[in-house]
């Protein structure tokens, strides 16, 4: 049946099957009405069949509170298809499995002629995810992805049973979410003059402005669309580093006593930027106002505050920052960053939310309720889990989707080391050496699509797929330890069915044999990362 991600258990029922046709009714038990609406719309588009409400032979959706919320059972026999989930989310994941069972054409948006026979093979599936946080991050700051592209990615995540979309909404090069109180964030901070083609060393520029942002209504639509798919959208407002676009819009946010922040523009370079936020009361108040609007838009329990790559040079030179260090009795600039993060940790906690940040927030002491996105390898995540903090594992060496997918000159984004499909399949979110109690703090993992060199959704597709399929299986299934994983079996399922599903979905993945001619990008300068990828 070539399911991706593979279910925990799958028993074929010999000789049985059910054909979905114009007589098939769709019955939605209490709590499954939203899933039924989604299924009727998705399968209705692909098949042209109406799937009217009704009992009897057909598709039956139900909630059974005895199962875990995201777990489901799917049973197919001659009478029909029964999908029972612990909650609506479980039913939704079961429905995703049903769609896979129907074959690649079930992913089309209009029926093919002549009409297909929609035969569901007889099967009994028991399934549940390994992790509660199965995420992807889209960097919509470096290259803006218009709303339609984000909605499409939500569909792609849902098809792979991924349930978190982390939106990296702000960075030095662009601010992408409308904040009503501070319109210049998007009017000024949303546009940079030009873009490097390639990484830092590149001497090529595209010589045209780049920008765009989501209105608050766009965000509401994205969040609602995600919720219909049982996906949580986690917003990231990156502070106190990666903030040049905000400082360009409102120069008073920067370290005005050491740099002429009024002269700054949204950054046109890549890398780590020295222009970080100042630590005045006014800057804190500004960001409280920003976060207040963000909380109104995003119901996510977690709010990401970035915290990565914040150079401390300006704070070292700034009398105002040094006064803050003295006044708070802090040891150094690392503790100043920690103080900054703690401020927002407390502020979010008072509003019933939890702070999550990149693993640099561990430096100088981690705020009590904070969770960590462990990106510089496993070490930050291990330290955080040992200290009792929740961790989302996203070590760059395994699951940064901007790392190239193979050696060789044809890969379009020549960044860092090659991380193949097999490498991602052998990614293990829970590192060795954690006790079971510590390991429970690893609440999941995510794959991050940084977009410095992904200047269109087509390139994001190429870099994300098929590796995101392997990632989805890692976070959903209970795979054996990395060395024992059946990568050949996974690759065979991809070949037999899943590339066909991606084709029907219009995903421009990296073909197993390497990039197509148009997917190569010769002449774009990249930068290898230092040192080999670390072992777990």
CB of 73 to ligand ACM, least distance (A): 38
3-state secondary structure of 189: coil
CB of 221 to ligand ACM, least distance (A): 27
Q: Of these residues, 293, 309, 383, 410, which one is catalytic?
A: 309
Q: Which is nearer to ligand ACM, 220 or 376 (CB)?
A: 376
Contact set with ligand ACM (CB under 6 A): 308-309, 358, 375
CB of 448 to ligand ACM, least distance (A): 7
What residues are paired with 53 via a beta bridge?
26
* Structure-token pair, residue 325: 């260090």
Q: Is position 221 annotated as part of the catalytic site? A: no
Q: Which is nearer to ligand ACM, 126 or 308 (CB)?
A: 308
Q: Which residues of 465-500 are buried (b: 16+ CB within 10 A; e: fewer)?
A: bbbbbbbbbbbbbebeeeeebebeebbebbeebbbb
**In 229-364, where does DSSP find H-type helix?**
244-249, 281-297, 313-317, 319-328, 333-350
What's phi and psi for 132, nearest 5 deg? -85, -20
Q: Of these residues, 160, 166, 230, 242, which one is catalytic?
A: 242
Gap between the Cα atoms of 285 and 480, Å rounded = 48
Q: Which is nearer to ligand ACM, 139 or 461 (CB)?
A: 139
Tokens 């008073």, residue?
A: 252
Q: Calculate ∠ Cα 511-517-522, nearest 5°.
A: 115
Cβ atoms 122, 76 nearer than 8 A:
yes
Cβ atoms 79, 55 nearer than 8 A:
no
Q: Which is nearer to ligand ACM, 375 or 499 (CB)?
A: 375
CB of 256 to ligand ACM, least distance (A): 25
Report the residue number whose CB is nearest to ligand ACM. Answer: 308
Q: Which is nearer to ligand ACM, 124 or 309 (CB)?
A: 309
Q: Of these residues, 70, 139, 171, 359, which one is catalytic?
A: 171
Tokens 């523009």, residue?
A: 265
Gap between the Cα atoms of 282 and 338, Å rounded = 18
CB of 271 to ligand ACM, least distance (A): 10
What Cα–Cα distance (Å) separates residue 398 from each residue in 157, 163, 301, 429? 19, 19, 26, 10
Which H, E and C letters describe 487-509, residue by residue? HHHHHHHHHHHHHHHHHHHCCCC
Gap between the Cα atoms of 118 and 102, Å rounded = 6
CB of 374 to ligand ACM, least distance (A): 10
Cβ atoms 375, 392 nearer than 8 A:
no
CB of 415 to ligand ACM, least distance (A): 12
| Ramachandran assignment for 426, one of left (phi > 0), alpha (psi -120 to 50 degrees), beta (any other) | alpha
Q: Which is nearer to ligand ACM, 308 or 503 (CB)?
A: 308
- Look up residue 457 and give its DSSP letter: H
3-state secondary structure of 293: helix
Residues shown for the chain: 536
Gap between the Cα atoms of 400 and 468, Å rounded = 10
CB of 453 to ligand ACM, least distance (A): 14
Q: Which is nearer to ligand ACM, 134 or 168 (CB)?
A: 168
CB of 165 to ligand ACM, least distance (A): 16
Q: Which is nearer to ligand ACM, 24 or 373 (CB)?
A: 373
Gap between the Cα atoms of 85 and 128, Å rounded = 9
Q: Is position 171 annotated as part of the catalytic site? A: yes
Q: Is position 14 annotated as part of the catalytic site? A: no
Q: Which is nearer to ligand ACM, 309 or 332 (CB)?
A: 309
Q: Which positions are catalytic?
A: 171, 242, 309
């Amino acid at each position: 049946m070539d399911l991706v991600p593979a279910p925990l258990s799958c028993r074929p029922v010999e000789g049985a099957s059910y054909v979905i046709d114009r007589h098939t009714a769709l019955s939605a038990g209490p709590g499954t009405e939203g899933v039924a609406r989604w299924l009727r719309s998705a399968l209705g588009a692909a098949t042209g069949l109406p799937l009217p409400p009704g009992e009897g032979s057909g598709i039956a959706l139900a909630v059974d509170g005895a199962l875990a919320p995201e777990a489901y059972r799917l049973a197919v026999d001659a009478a029909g298809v029964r999908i029972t989930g612990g909650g609506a989310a479980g039913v939704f994941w079961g429905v995703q499995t049903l769609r896979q069972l129907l074959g690649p054409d079930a992913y089309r948006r209009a029926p093919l002629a002549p009409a297909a026979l929609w035969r569901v093979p007889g099967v009994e599936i028991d399934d549940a995810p390994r992790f509660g946080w199965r995420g992807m991050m889209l960097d919509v700051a470096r290259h803006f992805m218009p709303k339609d592209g984000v909605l499409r990615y939500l569909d792609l995540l849902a098809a792979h049973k991924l349930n978190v979309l982390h939106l990296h909404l702000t960075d030095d090069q662009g601010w992408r979410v409308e904040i009503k109180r501070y319109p210049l964030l998007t009017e000024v901070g949303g546009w940079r003059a030009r873009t490097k083609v390639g990484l830092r060393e590149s001497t090529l520029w595209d010589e045209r402005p780049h920008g765009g942002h989501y209105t608050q209504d766009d965000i509401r639509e994205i969040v609602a669309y995600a919720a219909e798919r049982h996906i949580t959208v986690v917003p990231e407002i990156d502070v106190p580093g990666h903030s040049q676009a905000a400082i360009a819009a409102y120069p008073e946010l920067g370290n005005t006593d050491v740099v002429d922040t009024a002269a700054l523009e949204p950054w046109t370079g890549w890398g780590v930027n020295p222009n970080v936020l100042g630590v005045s009361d006014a800057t804190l108040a500004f960001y409280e106002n920003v976060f207040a609007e963000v909380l109104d838009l995003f119901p996510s329990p977690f709010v990401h505050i970035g915290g990565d790559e914040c150079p401390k040079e300006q704070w070292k030179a700034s009398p105002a920052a040094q006064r803050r260090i003295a006044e708070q009795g802090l040891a150094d600039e690392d503790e100043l960053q920690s103080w900054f993060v703690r401020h927002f940790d407390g502020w979010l906690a008072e509003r019933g939310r939890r702070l999550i940040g990149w693993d640099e927030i561990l430096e100088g002491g981690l705020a009590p309720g904070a969770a960590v996105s462990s990106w510089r390898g496993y070490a930050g995540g291990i330290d955080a889990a040992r200290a009792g903090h929740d961790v989302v594992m996203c070590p760059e060496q395994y699951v940064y989707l901007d790392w190239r997918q193979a050696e060789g000159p044809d890969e379009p984004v020549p960044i860092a080391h090659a991380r193949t499909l097999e490498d991602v399949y052998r990614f293990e979110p829970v590192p060795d050496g954690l006790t079971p109690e510590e390991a429970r703090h690893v609440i999941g993992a995510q794959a991050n699509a940084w977009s410095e060199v992904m200047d269109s959704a087509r390139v994001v597709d190429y870099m994300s797929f098929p590796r995101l399929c392997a990632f989805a299986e890692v976070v959903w299934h209970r795979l054996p330890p990395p060395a024992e994983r059946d990568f050949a079996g996974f690759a065979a399922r991809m070949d037999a069915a899943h590339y066909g599903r991606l084709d029907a979905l219009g995903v421009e993945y990296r073909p197993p044999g390497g990039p197509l001619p148009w997917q190569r990008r010769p002449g774009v300068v990249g930068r290898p990362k230092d040192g080999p990828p670390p072992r777990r």
